[in-house]
Amino acid sequence: MTGEAVGRGSAWFIEAPCGAAVLRRYLRGGMMARISRDRYLFTGWRRSRPVAEFRVLERLAAAGLPVPAPLAAGVLRRGPLYTGGLITQRIPDAWPLADLLPERAHDDALWRRIGACVRRFHDAGLVHADLNARNILVDAADTVFLIDFDRARIRHGARRRFRRNLERLHRSLVKLWPPGVSANQRATSWVALECGYRDPVAP
């Protein structure tokens, strides 16, 4: 292990035979975590969360979308329950949008790129289960990536769900917005994001 991915649950940076990677364990949140933090009901290998996410990532990567390449999915069955994990390629020199907000809040070009990136995923039918400012990465070249596709689904034409994705992202930004940057600037940044979403440019 070479480090921990802060803010993304139980995830660690590791060195794999294929290079730098991220290992993420599947953990419960909320009330269910009081019953079991890391065990899930086993209903079949393909329905397990690691395998399901691996398959979604395969489809997104094959479509040329900016996602970490899936490397391995693991499921350990114990009777009717299982624990699991996923290994993906680590995106070099990339940081969560949440960490970049203090320096990049005024960067309308970045916000437009973020909006265009989200639109590309929606056009591919991807409904992200937790689109927030920590699941959007920006690398040194300002390329925008999405991560964490646990419980994500591909549903072409799911416009209401796509709109809910954007609403969830907006709530995340309101929560994480730096106190030194005005609410007016937040509104301006969101308008730029929506412009990029409505009129995405070619990657």
61: domain CATH number is: 3.30.200
Q: What parts of the chain have a pLDDT lower than 50? A: 1, 3, 7-8, 33, 202
Per annotation, catalytic residue among 38, 130, 139, 150: 130
Gap between the Cα atoms of 101 and 181, Å rounded: 9
Select from 93, 78, 7 the least CA-distant residue to 48.
78
Cα torsion 185, 191, 197, 202: sign: negative
Q: What pLDDT score was predicted for residue 16?
A: 81
Gap between the Cα atoms of 29 and 57, Å rounded: 22
Check residue 90 and report its DSSP letter.
P
Calculate the alpha carbon distances from 16 to 2, 6, 21, 97 in Å. Answer: 11, 20, 6, 26
Domain stop point among 89, 107, 136: 89
Gap between the Cα atoms of 131 and 152, Å rounded: 10
> Each residue of 126-162: pLDDT tens digit?
999 999 999 999 999 999 999 999 999 999 999 999 9
Q: What pLDDT score was predicted for residue 11?
A: 85
Check residue 69 and report its DSSP letter.
P
Could you tell me if residue 159 is inside a domain? yes
Could you tell me if residue 203 is inside a domain? no
Give the amino acid at 157. Answer: G
Task: Tell me: do 16 and 72 sit in the same domain.
Answer: yes
130 is catalytic: yes
131: domain CATH number is: 1.10.510.10
Task: Tell me: do 121 and 194 sit in the same domain.
Answer: yes
Q: Angle at Cα 91 formed by Cα 29 and Cα 95, nearest 5°?
A: 65
Task: Tell me: do 77 and 111 sit in the same domain.
Answer: no
Q: Note down the domain range covering 118.
A: 94-198
Domain stop point among 89, 118, 140: 89
Task: Tell me: do 73 and 130 sit in the same domain.
Answer: no
Gap between the Cα atoms of 117 and 60, Å rounded: 13
Q: What pLDDT score was predicted for residue 7?
A: 46
Q: What pLDDT score was predicted for residue 28?
A: 76
Residues 84/76, Cβ–Cβ less than 8 Å: yes
